[in-house]
Structure 1
Amino acid sequence: MTAGHAGFDRFINGTAEFVHGGAILPAWSPDGTALAYLDGTAEDRTGRLVDLATGDNRPLIADVEALREAVREATGQTPPGRGLPFEHIGFAGPRTVAGTVGGVQVLVDLDRGEVAKAPGERPSDIHQGSADSVRQTPREFFRSVPLVDPVKARELASPDGTAFASTAGGNVVLRSTADNRSVPLTTDGTPEHEYCFDLVDPQLAVLGLAFPVCNWSPDGSRLAVYRVDNRGVHQSPQLHNLKREDEVVRRYHAQAGGHLERTALHVLDIYGRAPVQLDLGDTTDTYPVHAAWLPSGDRLVVFVLSRDCRRADVLLADAKTGATRPLFSEESETFLRIHHDVYFGRKIGLFLTPDGTRLLWLSERSGWKHLYLYDLEGTLLRPLTEGELPVDYVHRVDDEYVYFTAHQDQERPYDLHLARVPLAGGPVEQLSEQPGVHGMMFAPDGSAFVDTWSTPAEAPRSVLRKADGSLLCELSAADTSHLEWTPPREFTVIAADGETELWGTLYFPAGFDESQRYPLIEYVYGGPQISVAPHSFDSPFSRAPHALAQLGYVAFVVDGRGTPERSKAFHDVVHRDWARGLVPDHAAAVEQLKARHAFLSDAKAGVVGHSWGGYSAFRLAAERPDVYAAAVSSAPGFDPYSSVLYECYLGFPQDDAEAYRRAEVYPLAGQLAAEFMLVCGTIDHATWTDSIKMAEALIRAGKEHEFVVLPGQPHGYDSIHDGYFWRKVDGFFRTHLKKEGQRDR
């Protein structure tokens, strides 16, 4: 393996193997007095215990060697490494923590240092399902998600922990933790007319990034669910070829302007009363969402977004009768919400205060995203934030304050800071200081929070702060000494309009030498629902460009106009014109970077992207052959007619045919002059047909191209096929990107 490929592998799957510390997983004591966490490498792991009142930060275990010996005596196993032998810890009491060694759980008394093996369970009890670990652990099940394959999820626990909810065969099922038996809550569901409910992604929940969902009522007597009618929705074929006999599966995939699944909101009663359907009238061509239960558990707040995303209604619903009354509405000339946020993540921008008397609403009505406070009569009480600095999202609301993240720095508009504002009105207080992207994880009682931040060039650091932002103590700083890298650099360029500042990040090989010249590769996305240029250390969109750079290139990512996290006007560039900011802005970025940096080759650039990034890569290469020499489109979403995901930005094809015509890329096949590689998985029902159509368009236009087929792969590739994909990308760019004045790698 060459040094370049070793470096590629170091970054493509994240840097966790080479960077340790910085971001912590907090364990909060049940009495609200302490925070415990682990730090360091698996070989030399340490633990710390922090007093939440004073900030005193001391070793979790004073005598690690004695603890390791006690663990060996309790479990009969030699603990791995030299430090604390636990991957994770949690509090089992105010002064007791639990950890696992070799599959055996142990309890550690923090005062006496004593270690006890947790009571074991008989194998026969586990086999029969009567053991506590079986009855009280959520099981996996497959849940339906719009447009994609069913995904694994975990049962949803009731507030009192006596039951778990899941779905099977289109119905909601309850499993009792008392006897482990399951009973259906509904019986009239089918795969095409199914019941489902919202779930929090457990991985995001651990990181404090999951958005709240509304399902169980506060007392656990009711469950808010959806009844989704898929009848008439377009079904895309998915052909499975790898078994002895081919199998065809059809996946519901609503198309632009076509039949959309109809969603009704229901409330189920766990005591057996008939389900209650909320009275929302005709929900055709809308996205209704359960938003929040009132503390009393007898009413719900409901959010309804129009299919074109230009109108949102907020209602109050009676859980017993289904009656609703409107609270307030908002309309806009362009999209009010990002479609992906509502359709997939239930990130609706609506929050209930703890006392259940007021609502917080995120709106861009001023041209910038801000918080507005309403009462339950639908009266606007006051705006809580203002100015040309957009709010990101709300993370906690207590009786006095709203805690949120926001882009608070005009000089660094993509930095994300922590802030709070009084519900009663008043100035916004910024709670974080250092440049970078900050995130917060609150103690359960809200008295303190962990502030973790990073930049592309600075690995994560974590500190503990009081709720008012005052520093309690340092927690952890990442160690990058084993990374072997050249730190990335953030940059700005000017958009094609000649005035708008665009932000991006440059990535370099580990042995970068400014006196040499390197070919430039752009890693592109370009979709309207997210900004992707990394402004933190190890974001999902930093891995590919950082890895590509290790193969002997300089790589970059930039966000052009038509993407979020700036002003509404910046985002609205995509409205009715999918590529208006795409090609001009990204090509301008390449030209400015090459003019600015002598270490960049004069040769044309390469470009690679996945999903909508595949669309963008092709379009950049086709429209700007003077800028891009070679392009790779992976799992490309080429066809704007093929998915409902385009509608919030382009409208409907029967209403705005010109917007869809401008978004099409198949007609551009004839003008492609760059070298081109097309990659797609055969069971990616969302984009396999798009790829076939593009291959046909290129063949008819007489254009040579490569088509890499990944058998049995969906939209996201598994590790084996992903490795093959990147080897193909490496070979493709080695062949087609000219290297000038650069040492052999």
Structure 2
Amino acid sequence: MYKFGVLTLVLLVQQASAAAGPTDNTANQLQLSDYKRAMTIGDQYAKLTTNVPDVPFWLADGESFVYRQTTKGKHQFILVNAATGTKQPAFDHTRLAAALNRASHKDYKADNLPFAGFKMAKDAGRITFNIENTRWSCDLVSDACTSNTMPPQAYQYRYDRTPPAENNREKTSVSPDGKWLAYSKNYNLFLRSKDGSRNIPLTWDGSESNYYALSTLKWSPDSRHLAGYRIRPGHKRQVHYLESSPRDQLQPKHWTMTYPKAGDTLALHQPVLFDIVSRRQIAVDNASFPNPYSLSPILWWKDGRGFTFEFNQRAHQLYRVVEVDATTGQVRSLIDEVSHTFVDYQPLVNQPRTGKTFRYDVDDGKEIIWASERDGYEHLYLFNGRTGELKNQITRGDWVVRTVYYVDPVKRQIWFGASGMNPAEDPYFVHAYRIDFDGKGLTALTPELANHHIEFSPDGRYYVDLWSRIDAPPRLMLYRASDNAELMQVESAEISELVAAGWQPPLSFHAKGRDGETDIWGIIHLPVNFDPNKRYPVVEHIYAGPTRSSVPKSFSAFVEPLTQLGFIVVQIDGMGTNNRSRAFHDVAWKNLKDGGLPDRILWHKAASAKYPWYDISNLGIFGGSAGGQNAMSALLFHPDFYKVAVASNGSYDNRMDQIWWSEQWMGWPVGIEYSQSSAVDNAFRLQGKLLLIASETDRIVDPSSTLQLADRLIRAGKYFDWLVVPGADHVAPSSYSKLKLLDFFVRNILGQEPPNWNAIGSNWRE
């Protein structure tokens, strides 16, 4: 057991008993009714809105789309025929709920089905959807539902996508002409004729440590060639879990998951090519893709002349489109994306996660539309797909392309979403535009001052626009793409009852960042019964993960629970987050401890200078996941400003975190920067009040990350509170964790002692 010295113990007692600085708001002792309101206000407000549409999605027929509508807290899925403008329920909700309840032994309600989207078969006779980790398929004619539950360890595919070594003659890859079946045996590839009369070995040198992966095979369209990957497995790092309190048995459960971490040896993918006519392997030179982090799935040109894949070099500073000639195996680079920090290869919003941010092959690769940040902003470029030469930059300016909705190769036009083009508005608002391949004819399609979410029909004839602001309820509109004609106002939300009940939208606020030039944007959630003549303590809700920006831009009836206890809650996008310029984003590189905190501090000071009611004398902060890391960094590296923090399931040391995230932002090889940004290695710096929350079976961030931080804090003689939630995944159970968070800020910022919940019992929630 660790023993504190007498002086250390005295200091810790003094620290624990130190009262928070007074504010005008602390004069009133919080009541049970305040807590009840804080814990339930979200559900109450959700019942006061009408006709609120969720993001729509198109069905496979291309003629119809579906959205979930919420009225008075009850949900239904609405199907809209774009051609006729008719609206109707997407299915019989009562029958589906009954069928789902029979199969699941649950009690789901028809007006509150536990999924937000689904896929529907082309004949509209079956839908599939997910409920937590279970995939459901329901026949709408027979009212029968079946399920497929994913075991906990199946999550490893999210982290380790090494193709398996398969030795099953029955599992085959069939040639387009149907004459040949490729299969794997003894780690090698074989061909079997359709009639089974001939079995021909394609390789002889496969082994368990260097095998040919059947699942990667892709046939050329003319069936003359076969390409795939040979795999040399990497280190199979295992994360071990002990579920202490399973619901279905008394004894704990143990399971493991493959979870590569920063610096681990990765599987090596090497492309292989076979000439089926001559039954020979064609050599492919690997010199153009050394030390790969990943190679994307193989994509053949339609004329069979060759195939391409995308090469992401380890360290994420080189991303390349590679072409392999089918006849000779000759390799050449079509497009190179190079950065001295990192290539942000994550897909644009709304795009499938199959490779670089955006790539579209025009006319079987004669041209390639490509997204790049090479001029400092995310833009679209047109390349000659035969030579790899840049033909022209399609979009340009001090703004960013956020998504590509649709490409028309005949009209040579692109519909895309972008933000930051309009200087007079929030630079994160997404608007829709159309532009020609040559960069001419830029046309704005969404004049409303709002944040727009566009969904195009599969054939490009229609699109729906869901737009709103934090202070303006959503509208869902249907348009014809050819002339941008408005065809239908599908839905218009009504929030008059919500406003009458006291809901108020957050305030938008911006201030200059650390460079004195760049505007940093955020929002301010005001406390209940806000009085501008009083002063209110401030708590920041942070998520500064570099993958995205996190401050809400669209309408939501959501209320931060802390506002119901007299706090101001703010959300800010500081430097290092995404969706601004490349320079803005680069702040995160090898520097995740930064979290945009210098910009956030200046933002807080500017808000305090403008608003007399904005009290930052005892500033709090909380966040989960990357936000947990950010909240911890606030206390460790800015103790003069941030005083109280709640950190949940944080990636406190990126050497313990998933490999793609850590190496993307912190670099490779693993260097001193990892230690410099590590909350574990810097635990000795803690001065403020800290509550750590950890989920026992977190499958996103290794739970040991929190335990190692706790260990280092204890060894450094630091006092802190913490909660481990048994059986919880990355997002801890909301009610108990939320109450602990509320109590922690009430005690350490308001200076009040929370109620004795054990004496009160659970009746207070009712």
> Which of 677, 692, 705 is the equivalent residue of 2:707?
692
Residues in 2 aligned to 1:665 and 1:726: alpha-carbon distance in whole angstroms: 23
Deviation for aligned residue 1:641: 2.5
Contact kept in structure 1, 2:231 and 2:269, CA below 8 Å: yes
Contact kept in structure 2, 1:265 and 1:290, CA below 8 Å: no
- Encode CA deviations 1:385-428: one digit per residue, 9 max, x unaligned: 11111111222212121221111323321111111211244132
Which residue is equivalent to 1:346?
354
RMSD: 4.8
Deviation for aligned residue 1:588: 2.1
Which residue is equivalent to 1:328?
335
Among all aligned residue pairs of Structure 1 and Structure 2, give the percentage whose two residues are the same amino acid.
25
> Which of 222, 240, 260 is the equivalent residue of 1:254?
260
Amino acid at match of 2:422: D
Which residue is equivalent to 2:235?
232
Contact kept in structure 2, 1:601 and 1:739, CA below 8 Å: no
Spell out the pairing of 1:102-113 with structure 2 (5 A cutoff): none
Partner of 2:574, secondary structure, is coil
Which residue is equivalent to 2:415?
403
Amino acid at match of 2:395: T
Which residue is equivalent to 1:518?
536
Spell out the pairing of 1:195-344 with structure 2 (5 A cutoff): 230-242=233-245, 248-264=254-270, 280=286, 284-290=291-297, 292-296=299-303, 299-317=306-324, 324-338=331-345
Deviation for aligned residue 1:521: 0.9
Which residue is equivalent to 2:629?
615
Amino acid at match of 1:728: K
Partner of 2:728, secondary structure, is coil
Deviation for aligned residue 1:568: 0.9
Which residue is equivalent to 2:492?
477
Deviation for aligned residue 1:258: 3.3
Which residue is equivalent to 2:600?
586
- Encode CA deviations 1:330-388: one digit per residue, 9 max, x unaligned: 32222122569899943512422352232111111111111111122212111101111
Contact kept in structure 2, 1:523 and 1:608, CA below 8 Å: yes
Name the TM-score, length of structure 1 as normaliser: 0.73
**Pair 1:20–1:226, CA change in 2 (3 A):** farther
Spell out the pairing of 1:58-77 with structure 2 (5 A cutoff): none
Amino acid at match of 2:317: R
Which residue is equivalent to 1:209?
none
- Extract unaligned runs of 5+ from structure 1: 62-66, 72-79, 101-116, 127-132, 153-165, 177-182, 199-213
Amino acid at match of 2:537: P
Which residue is equivalent to 2:25?
none
Q: Does 1:445 align with 2:459?
A: yes
**Pair 1:564–1:224, CA change in 2 (3 A):** farther
Deviation for aligned residue 1:523: 0.8
**Pair 1:423–1:141, CA change in 2 (3 A):** farther
Which residue is equivalent to 2:554?
536
Deviation for aligned residue 1:569: 1.0
Residues in 1 aligned to 2:595 and 2:331: alpha-carbon distance in whole angstroms: 42
Q: Does 1:736 align with 2:739?
A: no
Partner of 2:560, secondary structure, is helix
Contact kept in structure 1, 2:209 and 2:232, CA below 8 Å: no
Partner of 1:647, secondary structure, is helix
Deviation for aligned residue 1:555: 0.8
**Pair 1:588–1:275, CA change in 2 (3 A):** farther
Q: Does 1:725 align with 2:737?
A: yes
Deviation for aligned residue 1:473: 2.6
Amino acid at match of 1:626: D
Contact kept in structure 2, 1:278 and 1:322, CA below 8 Å: yes
Partner of 1:314, secondary structure, is strand
Contact kept in structure 2, 1:369 and 1:391, CA below 8 Å: yes
Deviation for aligned residue 1:252: 3.1
Partner of 1:521, secondary structure, is strand
Residues in 2 aligned to 1:196 and 1:341: alpha-carbon distance in whole angstroms: 30
- Encode CA deviations 1:600-629: one digit per residue, 9 max, x unaligned: 335411111111211111111223333222
Contact kept in structure 2, 1:262 and 1:283, CA below 8 Å: no
Deviation for aligned residue 1:499: 2.5
Residues in 1 aligned to 2:403 and 2:263: alpha-carbon distance in whole angstroms: 31
Contact kept in structure 2, 1:391 and 1:405, CA below 8 Å: yes
Deviation for aligned residue 1:455: 1.7
Residues in 2 aligned to 1:368 and 1:691: alpha-carbon distance in whole angstroms: 36
Residues in 1 aligned to 2:385 and 2:326: alpha-carbon distance in whole angstroms: 16
**Pair 1:120–1:367, CA change in 2 (3 A):** closer
Residues in 1 aligned to 2:352 and 2:720: alpha-carbon distance in whole angstroms: 34
Residues in 2 aligned to 1:6 and 1:733: alpha-carbon distance in whole angstroms: 16
Which residue is equivalent to 1:21?
52
Partner of 2:536, secondary structure, is coil
Deviation for aligned residue 1:310: 1.1
Contact kept in structure 1, 2:675 and 2:681, CA below 8 Å: no
Larger mean Cα displacement after TM superposition, 189-198 or 677-686:
189-198
Residues in 2 aligned to 1:255 and 1:682: alpha-carbon distance in whole angstroms: 19
- Encode CA deviations 1:698-740: one digit per residue, 9 max, x unaligned: 21222211121112333233xxx23221111111111111279
**Pair 1:265–1:428, CA change in 2 (3 A):** farther
Which residue is equivalent to 1:419?
433
**Pair 1:409–1:577, CA change in 2 (3 A):** same
Q: Does 1:647 align with 2:663?
A: yes
Q: For the pair shown, which has the larger CA radius of gyration, 1 or 2?
A: 2
**Pair 1:191–1:441, CA change in 2 (3 A):** farther
**Pair 1:649–1:97, CA change in 2 (3 A):** closer
Q: Would you say how many aligned residue pairs link Structure 1 and Structure 2?
A: 645
Deviation for aligned residue 1:482: 4.9
> Which of 480, 485, 502 is the equivalent residue of 2:520?
502
Contact kept in structure 1, 2:604 and 2:616, CA below 8 Å: no
Partner of 2:614, secondary structure, is coil
> Which of 683, 690, 693 is the equivalent residue of 1:676?
690
> Which of 640, 648, 656 is the equivalent residue of 1:634?
648
- Extract unaligned runs of 5+ from structure 2: 1-31, 97-108, 128-138, 174-180, 188-207, 753-763
Residues in 2 aligned to 1:504 and 1:340: alpha-carbon distance in whole angstroms: 25
Amino acid at match of 1:531: S
Residues in 2 aligned to 1:90 and 1:247: alpha-carbon distance in whole angstroms: 34
